[in-house]
């Protein structure tokens, strides 16, 4: 064998061939990619399916004026059904608004205490407690509104019924608070320690450090926390179904019963025939809810992402 | 030593004021829940017994136990987990191990955030439109489980991704340098070291799924059924919906019954969460590298 | 057909250096950049079978990038761009059908030891397992042989079930070498292996490398010129992304250099 032949022989390499593992790798890569885009598929799917079911209503009975501006939700009126969600929007808004008034100061305060003041074991235990609070199911909260808050409100304020804006607002506030607390605490944690150290080196007290340095730096994250808490309150169903009193009504006071958008769907979907205008109108409310929460989440995401970039 | 200047004293005082203020807020956040738990135990504790857990409701649900509801919840949770855990883990693997840092990945992340943020009743509407009607599953355990699976998918994805991210990159590079394919690296080194973190997330998902009511109301859970489900195509009772029903829909229920149901539900959920938290803490204390 | 023509071109190129022994690795006009910033420019060199070829040079010379290009680690870094021709066993590594097979033929040892979070046994058994060897009796033999050759067997033979990632730095580095040997590589690349290792372990590893030379080709990247002098048959000097010169190690250290910068570096005037 000549030298060039022996070199060629050594170069007829056996290693460069595709084996089973190579193909398995490609297949797995394809499969996890499919799983990865499933979230997009589901979001589009949710929008597509609720639009599909609500489409008939949007084409025939839907009137933009009536839907958004009429306070009368009377879908089961046989002669002249009316599909106005104004009162329902007012119900959702009043309850969510009160919930935010209750939840924002407490959850931000708790987040600051847990994130900036508490240390060691205390901090760990508080975090665990907040996490457990967030885990209580909404139907249990609704039941608490119904069975504990209701008599309490009747006693304290001397009103005939305790299922109203006040009750649902407090319940919803208690529900949203732990979520807002833990997101807000994450936002505070995202502020680098060197900011705090720099301010402390200048002789600032801990509160001055928090007020002048940490809070401004975490501003966007905290705003994001508030928005996500709001989105959660807005979309909450069982608790508001059970604690609001479920009466179509634009409230004048905290003691008026109201009805929320979500609760309306939950209460009426079972009574309607598939494909009926009423059924389709409920899906149209679903489209509305989807779009609003989508916008809230999108905004929160953009705001939070803003701090990461800056 | 340094003498305290008046300004310093004032600053200290302000700081203590705020410390106490925020502590009070934290406590006020927690107190209502303690009160609520105590009330649930006080009013519902008397009814809890082995019989309560393992017998059928009687007399139009005004007496008896909650066994069919408990069993139904187990069915629904099982279906939801079977669907969402493989999908969610695979999605997290894609995001952490394959996806680059680009606009497409960002859209996926946005979709995940939204999936978690869409109201549960909208998930219910989707479940009705897609699984009950379009795919023809009818109101069944399958339709309810799948609806919940999609709703809780973000929980699995986020927690799995966290635990994958905790595995140092150097381990992957060492494997790649040995000629391992991406998948071999994931299977042999990344996943074994992330599996306990993934499990923590799965337990959390169980707790989320077990407590949900709205998404299963119209997709598979029934107010009352005189028989137990035989397959995933049957309807079933569920614990969360059972609480809603005995609290609002059935007249003449003795007071301790709904409190008892609420207590069982909340105990189940909090137990799952506590296991998940304890597990997480145990893992944090265990050093592997 | 494309592969064939590359083989022939490679053969032509290699004929020139055939007199000194078969070529393991031929690098032609290699350029590497990260996000447009060049890290290595116009490198041309060959590495022969069964030699220890060392690459010396100060930090940022492009030594590590060179190794990464050889076993195609650029596929995991979208920022890294590689141009030029790298022939390994006569095949251009840039047009392989299965780059995993290429990497399995090349053992790599990093500056910082990486014991995988598996047992010591599984650290060494991993590569055979990836190749489909799963019989316990076969694996036992491989594990013992590789750990012995890496001069680690006596220290760990009684605790093969403990975690490899919790060994001491020097032990982990020898474990990494045992793991690389378990690949049964043609080529072993070591990147500043002694950085996190004590002097005694360094000497032990150096002795191991001298023995391994019988079975494989070794590329030794080092910032210790004396280590290159002790071990290498030939040495390349890299400086700021440029391959300044390649020559017999003894020539470089006895002043027979073509470039003044090489002399200055070897004599310790900078770097």
- Taking the model in full, what pTM does it have? 0.89
Q: Which of B101, B178, B184 to mutate to test the interface with C (most CBs of C within 10 A)?
A: B178
Measured in whole angstroms, the distance separating CA A32 from the mean position of its chain's CA atoms is 27
If one counts the domains in chain C, the total is 1
Query: Which pLDDT band holds residue A12 (cuts at 50, 70, 90)?
Result: very low
Please give the distance of CA B193 from its chain centroid, rounded to a whole number: 23
**Residues of chain B numbered 99-138 and touching chain C (CB < 8 Å):** 100
pLDDT at C17 (0 to 100): 46
Q: Which residues of C touch B177 (CB under 8 A)?
A: 71, 73, 103, 106, 108
Asked if C100 lies within 8 A of B193 by C-beta distance, the reply is no
Considering only alpha carbons, which residue of chain C is nearest residue B185? C130
Report in angstroms the alpha-carbon separations of C90 from A219, C74, C217, C236: 60, 20, 15, 21
Using alpha carbons, list the distances in angstroms from residue A302 to A47, A308, B161, C73. 21, 10, 21, 34
Q: What is the pLDDT of residue C271?
A: 73
Nearest CA in chain C to B287: C166
Strands B63-64 and B57-58: antiparallel
Q: Give the CATH number, domain containing residue C72.
A: 3.40.50.300
Nearest CA in chain A to C104: A15
Identify the helix (H) or strand (E) that includes residue C37: strand C37-48
Q: State mean pLDDT over A142-167.
A: 95
Chain C contact for A14, CB < 8 A?
Answer: no
Provide the chain C residues 85-114 that lie in CB contact (below 8 A) with chain A: 89-91, 96-98, 100-102, 104-105
- Cβ of residue A24 closer than 8 Å to a chain C Cβ: no
Between residues A281 and B101, which one has the greater pLDDT? Answer: A281
Place of tokens 């709001």: A230
Q: Does A18 touch chain C (CB under 8 A)?
A: yes
Cβ–Cβ contact B174 with A under 8 A: no
- C182-219 pLDDT, tens digit each: 999 999 999 999 988 899 989 999 999 999 999 999 99
Give contacts of C 225-244 with A, CB under 8 A. none
CA–CA dist B71, B61 (Å, integer) = 16
Residue A9, pLDDT score: 42
Size of interface A-B (CB pairs under 8 A): 263
Q: What is the mean pLDDT of residues C248-257?
A: 88
Q: Which residues of B touch A137 (CB under 8 A)?
A: 210-213, 240, 265-266, 269
B269 neighbourhood in chain A, CB within 8 Å = 135-137
Chain A residue with the nearest C-alpha to that of B85 = A35
Residue contact A109–B22, C-beta within 8 A: yes
Closest CA to A93 of A182, A184, A172: A172
Q: What is the mean pLDDT of residues C142-168?
A: 94
Kindly state whether B244 is in contact with chain C, defined as any CB-CB distance less than 8 angstroms. no
Q: What is the pLDDT of residue C7?
A: 53
For residue A79, the model assigns a pLDDT of 83
How many other C-beta atoms are found inside a 10 Å radius of the C-beta of residue B72? 29
The average pLDDT across A1-21 equals 56
In terms of DSSP bridges, do strands C52-56 and C234-239 run parallel, antiparallel, or are they unpaired?
A: parallel
Give which of C110, C115, C108, C129 is closest to C185, Cα–Cα: C108
- Set of chain B residues whose Cβ sits within 8 Å of the Cβ of C112: 170
Q: In chain A, pLDDT over 70 holds for what percent of residues?
A: 94
Task: Report if residue C271 sits inside a domain.
Answer: no
pLDDT tier, A14 (very low <50, low <70, confident <90, very high otherwise): low
| Residue A232 burial class via C-beta count within 10 angstroms: exposed 0-12, middle 13-18, buried 19 and up | buried
CB contact under 8 A, C103 and B179: yes
CATH topology of domain B51-285: MetI-like fold (1.10.3720)
Token pair listed for B4: 């305290």
Q: Minimal Cα–Cα distance from B173 to chain C, Å?
A: 9
H/E stretch holding C84 reads: strand C80-88
Quick one: DSSP state of residue B4? P
User: What rounded mean pLDDT belongs to chain A?
Assistant: 90
Chain length of chain C? 271
The chains found to touch B (3+ Cβ pairs under 8 angstroms) are A, C
Q: Are strands C23-34 and C80-88 parallel, antiparallel or unpaired?
A: antiparallel
Residues of C with CB under 8 A from a CB of B: 71, 73, 76, 78, 100-108, 110, 112, 114-118, 126-127, 129-130, 163, 165-166, 176, 179-180, 183
Answer yes or no: is C225 within a domain.
yes
ipTM: 0.91
The phi, psi pair for A167, rounded to 5°, reads: -60, -55
Mutate to test the interface with B, among C101, C104, C117 (most CBs of B within 10 A): C117
C22, C100, C130: residue with CB nearest A7: C22
The residue range of the domain holding C114 is 2-266
Domain-by-domain residue ranges, chain B? 6-47, 51-285
The proportion of chain C whose per-residue pLDDT surpasses 70, expressed as a percent, equals 92
Q: Give the Cα separation of B217 and B238 in Å (integer).
A: 9
Answer yes or no: are the C-beta atoms of A100 and B22 closer than 8 Å: no
- Give the helix ranges, DSSP H, for C16-71: 63-70
Q: Which residues touch B153 (CB under 8 Å, ≥6 apart)?
A: A38, A39, A42, B84, B87, B88, B91, B112, B115
> Is the CB of residue C30 less than 8 Å from the CB of residue C40?
yes
Residue among A40, A228, A289 whose CB faces B122 most closely: A289
Query: What residues of chain A lie within 8 A of the CB of B157, using their CB?
Result: 39
The terminus-to-terminus CA distance of chain A in angstroms comes to 68
Q: What are the chain C neighbours of B289 within 8 Å (beta carbons)?
A: 115, 117, 163, 165-166
Residue owning tokens 């004396």: C226
- Residue B205, φ and ψ in degrees, nearest 5: -65, -40
Asked whether the beta carbons of residue C116 and residue B179 sit closer than 8 angstroms, the reply is no
Q: Write out residues in chain B with pLDDT < 50, as ranges.
A: none
Cβ–Cβ contact C16 with A under 8 A: no
Strands C242-248 and C234-239: antiparallel
Which other chains touch chain C, taking contact as 3+ CB pairs less than 8 Å apart? A, B
Determine the residue among A42, A112, A235 to mutate to test chain B binding: the one whose Cβ has the most chain B Cβ atoms within 10 Å.
Answer: A42
Radius of gyration of chain B (CA): 24
- In order of A287, B46, B259, C64, the CA distances from A227 in angstroms are 20, 41, 33, 47
Residue A81 three-state SS:
coil
Question: Using an 8 Å Cβ cutoff, are C183 and C105 in contact?
Answer: yes
Residue C73 lies in a domain: yes
Nearest chain B Cα distance for residue A253, angstroms: 24
- A202 contacts chain B (CB < 8 A): no
| Confidence category of residue A240, pLDDT binned at 50, 70, 90 | very high
Give the chain A residue nearest C8 (alpha carbons).
A8
- For C11, C21, C94, the CA distances from A11, given in Å and listed in that order, are 9, 14, 16
CATH number of A90-274: 1.10.3720.10
In a domain, C117, yes or no: yes
Is A231 in Cβ contact with B207 (below 8 Å)? no
User: Which among B150, B135, B139 has a CA at the least distance from the CA of B220?
Assistant: B139
Looking only at the bridges linking them, the beta strands covering C91-92 and C106-109 are: unpaired
């Amino acid at each position: 064998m000549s030298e060039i032949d022996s070199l060629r022989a050594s170069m007829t390499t056996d290693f460069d061939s595709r084996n089973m593992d190579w193909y398995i790798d490609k297949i797995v890569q394809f499969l996890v990619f499919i799983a990865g885009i499933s979230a997009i598929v589901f979001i589009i799917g949710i929008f597509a399916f609720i639009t599909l079911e609500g489409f008939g209503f949007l084409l025939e009975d839907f009137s933009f004026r009536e839907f958004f501006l009429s306070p009368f939700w009377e879908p089961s009126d046989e002669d002249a059904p009316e599909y106005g969600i104004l009162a329902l929007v007012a119900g959702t808004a009043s309850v969510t608004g009160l919930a935010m008034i209750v939840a924002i100061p407490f959850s931000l305060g708790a987040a600051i205490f847990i994130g900036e003041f508490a240390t060691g074991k205390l901090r760990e235990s508080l975090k665990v407690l907040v996490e457990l609070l967030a885990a209580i199911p909404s139907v249990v909260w609704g039941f608490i509104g119904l069975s504990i808050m209701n008599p309490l409100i009747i006693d304290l304020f001397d009103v005939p019924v305790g299922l109203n804006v006040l009750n649902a607002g407090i319940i919803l506030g208690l529900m949203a608070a732990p979520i807002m607390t833990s997101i807000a605490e994450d936002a505070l944690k995202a502020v680098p320690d060197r900011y705090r150290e720099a301010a402390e080196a200048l002789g600032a007290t801990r509160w001055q450090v928090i007020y002048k340095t940490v809070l401004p730096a975490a501003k966007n994250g905290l705003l994001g926390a508030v928005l996500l808490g709001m989105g959660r309150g807005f979309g909450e169903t069982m608790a508001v179904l059970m604690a609001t009193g479920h009466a179509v009504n634009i409230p004048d006071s905290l003691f008026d019963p109201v009805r929320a958008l979500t609760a309306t769907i939950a209460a009426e979907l079972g009574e309607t025939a598939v494909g009926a205008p009423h059924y389709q109108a409920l899906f149209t409310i679903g489209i509305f809810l989807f779009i609003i929460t989508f916008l809230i989440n999108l905004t929160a995401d953009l705001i939070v992402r803003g701090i990461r970039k800056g | 030593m340094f003498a305290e200047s008046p300004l310093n004293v004032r600053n200290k005082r302000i700081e203590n004021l705020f410390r106490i203020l925020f502590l009070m807020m934290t406590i006020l956040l927690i107190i209502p829940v303690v009160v609520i738990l105590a009330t649930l135990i006080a009013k519902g504790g008397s009814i809890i017994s082995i019989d309560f857990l393992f017998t059928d409701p009687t007399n139009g649900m005004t007496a008896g136990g909650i066994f069919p509801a408990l069993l139904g919840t187990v069915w629904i949770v099982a279906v939801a987990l079977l669907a969402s855990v493989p999908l969610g883990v695979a999605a997290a693997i894609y995001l952490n191990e394959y996806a680059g840092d680009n606009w497409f990945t960002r859209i996926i992340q946005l979709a995940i955030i939204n999936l978690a943020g869409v109201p549960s009743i909208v998930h219910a509407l989707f479940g009705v439109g897609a699984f009950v009607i379009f795919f023809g599953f009818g109101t069944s355990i399958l339709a309810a489980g799948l609806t919940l699976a999609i709703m809780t998918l973000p929980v699995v994805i986020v927690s799995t991704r966290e635990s994958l991210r905790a595995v140092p990159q150097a381990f992957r590079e060492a494997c790649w340098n040995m000629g391992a394919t991406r998948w071999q690296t994931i299977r042999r080194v990344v996943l074994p070291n992330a599996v306990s973190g993934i499990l923590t997330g799965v337990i959390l998902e169980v707790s989320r799924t077990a407590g949900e009511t709205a998404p299963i109301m119209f997709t598979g859970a029934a107010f009352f059924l005189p028989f137990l489900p035989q397959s995933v195509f049957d309807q079933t009772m569920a614990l969360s919906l059972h609480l809603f029903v005995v609290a609002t829909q059935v007249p003449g229920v003795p007071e301790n019954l709904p409190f008892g149901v609420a207590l069982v539900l909340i105990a189940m959920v909090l137990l799952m969460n506590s296991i998940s938290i304890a597990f997480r803490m145990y893992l944090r204390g265990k050093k592997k590298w | 057909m494309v592969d064939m023509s590359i083989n022939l071109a490679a053969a032509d190129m290699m004929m020139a250096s055939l007199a000194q022994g078969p070529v393991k690795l031929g690098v032609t006009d290699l350029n590497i950049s990260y996000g447009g910033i060049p890290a290595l420019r116009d490198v041309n060199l060959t590495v022969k079978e069964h030699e220890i070829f060392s690459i010396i040079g100060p930090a940022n010379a492009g030594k590590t990038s060179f190794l990464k290009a050889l076993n195609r680690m650029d596929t995991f870094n979208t920022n890294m761009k590689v141009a030029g021709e790298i022939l390994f066993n006569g095949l251009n590594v840039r047009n392989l059908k299965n780059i995993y097979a290429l990497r399995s033929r090349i053992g790599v040892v990093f500056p910082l030891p990486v014991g995988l979070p598996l047992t010591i046994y599984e650290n060494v058994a991993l590569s055979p397992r990836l190749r489909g060897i799963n019989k316990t009796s076969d694996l036992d033999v491989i594990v013992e042989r590789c750990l012995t050759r890496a001069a680690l067997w006596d220290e760990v033979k009684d605790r093969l079930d403990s975690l490899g990632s919790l060994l001491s730095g020097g032990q982990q580095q020898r474990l990494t070498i045992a793991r690389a040997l378990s690949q049964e590589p043609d080529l072993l690349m070591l990147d500043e292996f002694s950085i996190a290792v004590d002097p005694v372990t360094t000497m032990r590893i150096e002795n191991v490398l001298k023995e391994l030379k019988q079975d494989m080709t070794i590329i030794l990247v080092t910032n210790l010129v004396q280590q290159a002098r002790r071990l290498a048959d030939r040495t390349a000097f890299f400086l700021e992304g440029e391959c300044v010169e390649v020559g017999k190690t003894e020539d470089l250290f006895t002043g027979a250099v073509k470039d003044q910068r090489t002399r200055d570096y070897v004599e310790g005037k900078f770097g």
